């Protein structure tokens, strides 16, 4: 920042008062006997005023010096904010089943590094740097033309991106998958997350979601659910299944542990008995 100019008020110099004092002494008024006493009083007032002005000048110099020391601090940024490190998503190849996760991860990176990706163009180029295969072929013409109407509108670009790669029949596809979903080798946690995502896409109510979730669980978990009170919501049913799955895993881990084998009793060999009998 440029130095802040400080206006300097007019202060009469010391020489001004000195010359005024000399003129008064050299030109007394003989016609008035009290003129000398009046001159002395005036001289004292002038000296006091001169001291006051000198003090004000000193204060002004101190203020100017303080302003000079504050100017470099004002030129520095007030905040030295460092953006957190963000993990970029895996490149997107055009697979409709992964477009939602890819876009969500892109939005997460933008939120974490909002300074780096503060413009719509920088956000679009971020997506362009993370596409391969069919997705890259789709992006290339947009990048080569760089239409300002599109490259300056991130939301419009996302709309076109979803329109091209997202599943247009998301609800129908989710319902089809729910009709045959099974836990299989997955943990209850992974299975529950998948079911919840599909239920949201299909738009099913909570009761239907409970039925599908319970039916797809492995037999061991279904049997254990019969021993606990019936859940009143999908969230509670998932919590019960997670708790029972953890208990089942702990039991299975205990069975696979190597059983404790006591040390075998050491008996004297037959030769020692023979030796002892011969003695």
Is the pTM higher than 0.85? The answer reads no
What 3 state SS string does 10-59 have?
CCCCHHHHHHHHHHHHHCCCCCCCCHHHHHHHHHHHHHHHHHHHHHHHHH
Q: List the alpha helices (DSSP H) in the chain.
A: 14-26, 35-75, 99-112, 120-128, 133-145, 148-151, 154-165, 170-178, 188-202, 206-216, 219-225, 234-255, 270-278
| Domains in the chain, number | 3
Q: Is 134 inside a domain boundary?
A: yes
Are both 161 and 174 inside the same structural domain?
A: no
Q: Which domain holds residue 23?
A: 14-75
Are both 200 and 246 inside the same structural domain?
A: yes
Q: Is 113 inside a domain boundary?
A: yes
Instruction: Quote the pLDDT of residue 160.
Output: 94
Are both 240 and 197 inside the same structural domain?
A: yes
Domain boundary among 165, 196, 215: 165
Per-residue pLDDT of the chain (279 residues; tens, 9 = 90+): 455 554 555 455 555 555 655 555 555 555 555 565 666 667 777 777 777 777 777 777 777 777 776 655 544 445 556 888 889 999 999 999 899 999 999 999 999 999 999 999 999 999 999 999 999 999 999 999 888 888 899 999 999 999 999 988 889 999 999 999 999 999 999 999 999 999 999 999 999 999 999 999 999 999 999 999 999 999 999 999 999 999 988 887 776 655 555 555 445 555 544 444 444
């Amino acid at each position: 920042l440029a130095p802040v100019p400080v206006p300097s008020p007019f202060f009469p110099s010391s020489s001004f008062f000195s010359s005024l004092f000399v003129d008064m002494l050299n030109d007394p008024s003989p016609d008035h006997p009290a003129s000398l006493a009046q001159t002395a009083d005036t001289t004292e007032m002038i000296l006091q005023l001169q001291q006051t002005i000198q003090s004000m000048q000193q204060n002004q110099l101190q203020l100017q010096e303080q302003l000079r020391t504050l100017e470099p601090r004002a030129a520095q940024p007030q905040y030295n904010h460092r953006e957190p490190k963000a993990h970029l998503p895996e490149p997107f190849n055009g697979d409709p089943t992964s477009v939602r996760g890819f876009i969500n991860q892109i939005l997460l990176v933008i939120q974490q590094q909002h300074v780096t990706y503060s413009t719509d163009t920088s956000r679009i180029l971020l997506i362009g740097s993370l596409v391969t295969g069919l997705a890259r072929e789709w992006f290339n013409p947009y990048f080569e033309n760089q239409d300002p109407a599109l490259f300056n509108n991130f939301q419009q670009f996302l709309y076109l991106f979803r329109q091209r790669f997202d599943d247009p029949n998301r609800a129908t596809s989710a319902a089809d998958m729910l009709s045959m979903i099974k836990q299989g080798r997955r943990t209850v946690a992974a299975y529950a997350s998948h079911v919840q995502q599909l239920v949201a896409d299909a738009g099913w109510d909570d009761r239907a979601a409970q039925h599908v979730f319970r039916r797809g669980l492995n037999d061991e978990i279904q049997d254990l659910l019969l021993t606990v009170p019936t859940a009143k919501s999908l969230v509670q049913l998932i919590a019960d299944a997670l708790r029972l799955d953890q208990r089942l895993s702990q039991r299975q881990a205990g069975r696979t542990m190597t059983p404790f084998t006591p040390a075998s009793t050491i008996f004297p060999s037959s030769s020692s008995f023979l030796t002892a009998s011969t003695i």
